[in-house]
Amino acid sequence: MFKKNKKNKKEIYHLITDKDINFSFAEAFRVFAVNLRFTFAQKFSRKVIITGFNENMGKTMISTNLAIAMAQSGFRVLLIDCDLRKPCVHKLFKDENTIGLTHILCDDVKVDDAIKKSQVDNLWYLTAGVKSPNPIKLLLSPEMSELLNNLGREYDWIILDTPPVGVVSDALILSNNCDGVILAAEEGVSDYRQIAKAIEEIKYVNGNLLGVVLNRAKNNRRRYYYQYSYGQDK
């Protein structure tokens, strides 16, 4: 469904706000956002987790572009980097990861001082902050639940970029505080067994699996529609 290129082993993240972005790439995220809106049409504030089974599935690129697409539709959107182990959201906004989520949870800074406004209208982001020796403890803390509840009163959509479920349990821990989970997979890399295992783990903790997004997909129209329908919650 979505494509992320690599060059000289360094990942290049494509954003739908890039001037030279491919139309079909940007449109895929807009359609993705529309379908999510219909899924939660009756809910005031929505919190959605984006994760993968393994590393390098493109979850951060997907999280960021989904947040942008939602913001471009007029919703107040907050993107939170909940990957306290290998944070990347700040890179896509060309920012530093100096103050963020970990500082809020440790009561080092106020929420308003950590959340930043992006160059996209209606879009704010919260970086991960300094690495924690015990990320799971922070994500399980009452402070995290309270933070998400309070932010839900201020934003229409909260997108949480989390570590892969096949590596650590962070996304599973957060799933009960959120409305749904979207799993990122990669064409030619993720196999059925990996995806099935991730789905099983999400459902085991009573997480609401919304669907699977196939990243680095081949560019042909027929294939695109198959991937899109496959990624929807039936």
Q: 3-class DSSP state for residue 228?
A: helix
**How long, in residues, is the chain?**
234
What region, left, alpha or beta, does residue 211 occupy, with left being phi > 0 and alpha being psi -120 to 50 degrees?
A: left
Tell how far CA 226 is from the center of its chain.
Answer: 22
Residue 116 is given by DSSP the state: E
Give the domain 5-230 fold.
Rossmann fold (3.40.50)
17 confidence band (pLDDT: 50, 70, 90):
confident
Percent of the chain having pLDDT more than 70?
A: 85
Q: Give the pLDDT confidence of 142-159 residue by residue, as tens digits.
A: 999 999 999 999 999 999
Q: 131-134: which pairs have CB atoms within 8 A and are 24 or more residues apart? A: 131/84, 131/85, 131/102, 132/84, 132/102
Residue 2 above 80 pLDDT? Answer: no
189 confidence band (pLDDT: 50, 70, 90):
low
Query: How far is it, in rounded angstroms, from Cα 137 to Cα 140?
Result: 5
Domain ranges of the chain: 5-230
Tell me the mean pLDDT in the region 211-215. Answer: 84
